[in-house]
Amino acid sequence: MIKKHFIILLLFCFSCQDEKSISAEDLITRSIQAHGFDKKNIAIEFDFREYHYKLIRSPSFYTYSRETQKDGKHVKDEMNSEKKLRHFENNSLFSISDSIANLYSNSLNSVLYFFQLPKPLQDSAVIADILDSIQIKDKSYWTLKITFIQKGGGDDFQDEYRYWINKKTFLIDYLAYNYITDGGGTRFRKAINKRKQKKYVFQDYENYKPEIKFELLDELPKLYEKGNLKYISIIENKNILFLN
């Protein structure tokens, strides 16, 4: 009996040690595996709001696109790892200003960034750190802080993120970020509607904001539990289909 208790205690100690010693890189890798985005080749399409999106990604190349019907025209934006955004109307290349192209590019990038989470957290511009673990709704979470270097970090390199990763499932249950573009602000998201398709875990989000425009990110889980965040929208990815 003593030997049995000693073994249990030893396993507990090793578990605690592993939890404390896990690196940010290992945590991101484990989370990517849990979400199913560790595949070498990804080809998926889906609908988000008024646009139909397509993602094609391999280890050395990616293509992002979105298309919709607008003012009686078929409109498509497309970009990849080698070419900047191109805008098409009725299947013909249409010239747009650099400022508009940058606006469309940022919008397309943003949707595909969140859709692929946590895969983008391995990008070379990412700076990842593990902060103190916390409890949210009686569940234990690692706190992952994400910032960006300027080179390769895009127009939003000054943004800062938090990801709260479930210690049992390694899934992202909550996230938050501060941003400065378009007037700036702070957002907190709760993952909902988790579903598994072809070993991928897809999830939608409830989108909240605090009363203070630039609230401290690490305060947001507490404000959420107290009901002090304002619900503003739902982030839903619909009609997800695989192209391979």
CATH code: domain of residue 204: 2.50.20
User: Does any domain span residue 39?
Assistant: yes
Q: How far apart are CA 25 and CA 23, in angstroms?
A: 5
Average pLDDT over residues 38-65: 96
Placement of tokens 């673990």 in the chain:
133
Estimate to the nearest angstrom the gap between the alpha carbon of 76 and the chain centroid: 23
Q: How far apart are CA 180 and CA 212, in angstroms?
A: 14
Residue closest to 207 by CA, chosen among 226, 181, 222, 229: 229
**Predicted TM-score (pTM) above 0.95:** no
User: Domains in the chain: how many in total?
Assistant: 1
Would you state the pLDDT for residue 89? 97
User: Does any domain span residue 5?
Assistant: no
Q: Kindly report, residue by residue over 74-104, the tens digit of the pLDDT.
A: 999 999 999 999 999 999 999 999 999 999 9
Average pLDDT over residues 30-59: 97
Domain extent for 133: 25-242
Would you state the pLDDT for residue 17? 39
Q: Radius of gyration of the chain from Cα atoms?
A: 20
- Which amino acid belongs to residue 92? S
User: Does any domain span residue 157?
Assistant: yes
Element (H, E) at 114: helix 98-115
